[in-house]
Amino acid sequence: GAVVSQHPSRVICKSGTSVKIECRSLDFQATTMFWYRQFPKQSLMLMATSNEGSKATYEQGVEKDKFLINHASLTLSTLTVTSAHPEDSSFYICSAPPPGGVTDTQYFGPGTRLTVL
């Protein structure tokens, strides 16, 4: 099946620094990708929809200046956590539906564990 990769799988950074997380669709093109975050023992919360060639669409309550999203190509979306703080520590997961697919065929990346010290 289609594969979505994320890099890095784990990152530890100091408070105040910025961290970039990559999401790649490996064998299909994705005009849309989604970014989720998951706190321990909680649900996946949708943060934003990444749109190739246009601005991302952020969910209510998500700071777009804090979480910068760039969908540079049909196979790559990046999430940059700017001026990270300990409360940004979380598990970040991306997903992508293949072209023409319906919601059920979204493919998920393995996630990136961010720890901000």
Q: Does 2 bind other proteins (CB under 8 A)?
A: no
Taking CB under 8 A as the criterion, the residue among 70, 80, 82, 106 binding other proteins is 106
CB of 23 within 8 A of CB of 33? yes
**CB closer to other proteins, 90 vs 97:** 97
Q: Does 82 bind other proteins (CB under 8 A)?
A: no
CB of 106 within 8 A of CB of 34? yes
Taking CB under 8 A as the criterion, the residue among 7, 11, 22, 46 binding other proteins is 46
Give me 18's structure tokens. 């910025």
Residue 14 Cβ, how far from other proteins at the closest point, in Å?
Answer: 27
Q: Which residues contact 11 (CB under 8 A, 6 or more apart)?
A: 19, 21, 112, 113, 114, 115
Taking CB under 8 A as the criterion, the residue among 21, 25, 34, 75 binding other proteins is 34
Q: Does 58 bind other proteins (CB under 8 A)?
A: no
Q: Which residues of 1-18 are buried (b: 16+ CB within 10 A; e: fewer)?
A: eeebebeeeebebeeeee
Enumerate binding residues for other proteins (CB under 8 A): 4, 32, 34, 36, 41-46, 49, 93, 95, 97, 102-111
